[in-house]
């Protein structure tokens, strides 16, 4: 199990490394192929514009906290007052 995990980790790392090397060093013989390549189009494009539509937050009360006093009801019965420890020998 441990050998398999280690082997998979090395496989993933090597795939990432080879992908990075392939993306950074690839070239095209003519410009028509580079125009259709997504890596080259992204690399030579102008500043990418952020296109996200953040929804505006809506603040609304979903409920109110209603506090109640909690008073512990402790009672000391007469029987508990009469308990004493064992006699010392």
Closest CA to 23 of 33, 37, 2, 3: 37
Is residue 29 within 8 A of residue 13, CB to CB? The reply is no
Least Å distance, CB 43 to Zn ion, is 8
Footprint on residues 1-20 left by Zn ion (CB under 5 A): none
Main-chain dihedrals φ then ψ at residue 86, nearest 5 degrees: -70, 150
Footprint on residues 24-43 left by Zn ion (CB under 5 A): 37, 39-40
Nearest to Zn ion of 9, 39 (CB atom) = 39
Eight-class DSSP state of 83? -
Nearest to Zn ion of 13, 41 (CB atom) = 41
State the residues that interact with Zn ion by CB under 5 A: 37, 39-40
């Amino acid at each position: 199990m441990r050998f398999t995990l280690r082997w998979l980790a090395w496989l993933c790392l090597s795939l990432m490394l080879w992908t990075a090397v392939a993306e950074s060093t690839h070239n095209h013989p003519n410009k028509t192929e580079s125009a259709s390549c997504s890596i080259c189009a992204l690399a030579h494009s102008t500043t990418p514009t952020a296109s996200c539509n953040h929804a505006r937050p809506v603040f609304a009360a979903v409920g109110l906290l209603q506090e109640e006093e909690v008073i512990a009801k402790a009672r000391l019965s007469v029987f508990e007052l009469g308990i004493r420890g064992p006699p010392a020998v």
